[in-house]
């Protein structure tokens, strides 16, 4: 879902809103698999923020039954899911002739911190400070944040890193961020929790994926020009031709010598 500047919607309004094509496909697939039906109510959530920021804010209002979420260990290890995301994004970039993004563990701290916040709050809003935080920890220019969530009543069916990449690639706004040519590095955060879900107003198992991109191009070292001594003009060389006596004088001198 893409959120305009200053826009605020409650969970009920989101559930009544039109479904994006990518989300509709996921829901339709769930209807054919009874084990996945709870995910329909969970409404596979997407969110993206560009470098421009757009001032996006979307707030899900928790009910009175809200309680602290319990952090769980997912069936697919976190490290495996991070590699799935890195490989999936770089595969898509390679197909477009773009350079791969490198995994930056410093930026991971920003992504993981926000994934944990989303898991604790049961919401899918963006980190309002991700630009500044990415630059602070990495010294790089932030180029965007994308996040997504999957959840339901089945603890064994809350997705993995590949599912997150498919969701992002299927959303034009997320796709635009993960295929930015200027992006050189990525941080990834993943949180798997059980607790109150503000999107549906009930308890569920949920996975949150957050990815932050950054442009970390190196600044060329200054080039020191070679030393050139100050110009000193060289005085011209004046050549004085020898003085040759007239021929008549030379003959006379010879004659005198003979006598």
- pLDDT for the residue numbered 103: 98
- pLDDT for the residue numbered 38: 38
Instruction: Give the Cα separation of 189 and 115 in Å (integer).
Output: 6
pLDDT at residue 36 is higher than 50: no
Work out the average pLDDT over 232-250: 60
- pLDDT for the residue numbered 240: 65
State the pLDDT confidence band at 60, using cuts at 50, 70 and 90. Answer: very low
Work out the average pLDDT over 54-67: 37
Strand segments, DSSP code E, in the chain are: 45-49, 70-71, 102-103, 141-152, 185-197, 202-215
- pLDDT for the residue numbered 256: 52
Best CA proximity match to 1, nearest among 40, 55, 41, 44? 44
Question: What percentage of the chain exceeds 90 in pLDDT?
Answer: 49
Query: What proportions of the chain, in percent to the nearest 5, are helix, strand and coil?
Result: 35, 20, 45
State the pLDDT confidence band at 209, using cuts at 50, 70 and 90. Answer: very high
Work out the average pLDDT over 226-249: 58
Could you tell me whether strands 202-215 and 185-197 are parallel, antiparallel, or unpaired per DSSP bridges?
antiparallel
129-133, 188-192, 238-242: the lowest-pLDDT one: 238-242
State the pLDDT confidence band at 228, using cuts at 50, 70 and 90. Answer: low
The one-character DSSP state at 140 is S
Q: What 3-state DSSP class applies to 172?
A: helix
Instruction: Pick 200 or 129 by higher pLDDT.
Output: 129
- pLDDT for the residue numbered 199: 72
Q: How many CA atoms lie within 13 A of 144 on its CB side?
A: 19
- pLDDT for the residue numbered 230: 58
The one-character DSSP state at 5 is B
Work out the average pLDDT over 36-55: 42
pLDDT tens-digit profile of 92-136?
999 999 999 999 999 999 999 999 999 998 888 999 999 999 999
What DSSP line would sit under 23-74, residue for residue? HHHHHHHHHT-GGGTHHHHH--EEEEE-TT-TTB-------TT--PPEE---
Mean pLDDT for the chain? 73
- pLDDT for the residue numbered 8: 33
Instruction: Give the Cα separation of 195 and 190 in Å (integer).
Output: 16
93-107, 166-180, 184-198: the lowest-pLDDT one: 184-198
Q: How far apart are the first and last CA of the chain?
A: 128
- pTM, two decimals, is 0.64
Instruction: Give the Cα separation of 83 and 160 in Å (integer).
Output: 11
């Amino acid at each position: 879902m893409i959120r305009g500047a200053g826009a605020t919607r409650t969970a009920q309004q989101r559930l009544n809103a039109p479904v994006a094509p990518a989300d509709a496909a996921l829901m339709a697939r769930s209807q054919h698999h009874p084990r996945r039906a709870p995910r329909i109510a969970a409404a596979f959530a997407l969110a993206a923020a560009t470098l421009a920021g757009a001032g996006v804010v979307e707030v899900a209002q928790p009910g009175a039954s809200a309680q602290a979420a319990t952090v769980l260990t997912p069936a697919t290890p976190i490290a495996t899911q991070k590699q799935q995301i890195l490989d999936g994004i770089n595969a898509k970039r390679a197909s477009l002739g773009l350079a791969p993004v490198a995994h930056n563990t410093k930026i991971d701290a920003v992504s993981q911190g926000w994934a944990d916040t989303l898991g604790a709050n049961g919401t899918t809003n963006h980190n309002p400070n991700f630009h500044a935080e990415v630059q602070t920890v990495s010294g790089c220019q932030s180029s965007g944040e994308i996040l997504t969530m999957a959840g339901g009543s089945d603890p064994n069916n809350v997705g993995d890193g590949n599912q997150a990449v498919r969701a992002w690639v299927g959303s034009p706004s997320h796709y635009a961020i993960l295929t930015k040519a200027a992006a050189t590095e990525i941080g990834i955060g993943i949180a798997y929790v059980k607790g109150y879900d503000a999107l549906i107003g009930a308890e569920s198992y949920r996975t949150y994926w957050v990815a932050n991109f950054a442009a970390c191009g190196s600044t060329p070292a200054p080039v020191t020009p070679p030393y050139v001594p100050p110009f000193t003009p060289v005085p011209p060389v004046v050549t004085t031709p020898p003085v040759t006596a007239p021929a008549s004088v030379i003959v006379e001198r010879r004659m005198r010598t003979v006598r």
